[in-house]
Amino acid sequence: MATSFHDLSVRCYLQTLTGVEGFLTKGAAHCQENGIDPAEIVETRLWPDMLPFSFQMWSVVHHSLDAIRGIEEGVFTPPGPLPTLDYASWQKMVSAARETLAAMTPEAVNALEDKELVFKFGDFKLPFVAPDFVLSFSLPNLHFHATTAYDILRTKGVPLGKRDYTGPMRIKR
């Protein structure tokens, strides 16, 4: 059985985004139960030279939904300016990205498999074909930022485990 481009991109993005939605929900509940202002989490960094939780959320959306959009357009760039959003708005943004990806049909996404795109950062350019972009750039970045957000919540005492991160596995039915 061959794996389709939809399976290796959108279905992987959906699994991670669903996990992120779940641990964001647990994070919000933990804040409410423990009198923690969620704004504190939005600005939290694991280390002073690392970017805050808000950037991690921005990147989760960028390296999933915006990755598919970049493939469609033939160019992928770093995300635009970081919006100033509260915790609940980041939750909504992640949910909206998941919903948009879930609505993409396998046929439409599979039609992108042979597309070429360029990652552009100023004058720097990296050429890709869509599957290599997803597997070697987009998914590793998505997991890096999702993991960093998870870790920030753990440092705030949110009771999370590995299953909260992994999201729904694709088990045999």
Domain boundaries, the chain: 5-166
Buried b (16+ CB within 10 A) or exposed e, 107-124: eebeebbebebebeeeee
pLDDT at 170: 83
Report mean pLDDT in 10-residue bins for the chain, 173 residues.
Answer: 91 97 97 95 96 97 98 96 95 98 98 97 96 98 98 96 88 84
pTM for the structure as a whole: 0.94
Q: Which CATH superfamily is domain 5-166 in?
A: dinb family like domain (1.20.120.450)
Return the sign of the alpha-carbon dihedral for residues 100, 4, 115, 82: positive
pLDDT at 1: 58
Do residues 121 and 80 touch, judged by C-beta distance below 8 A? no
CA gap 38, 30 in Å, rounded: 9
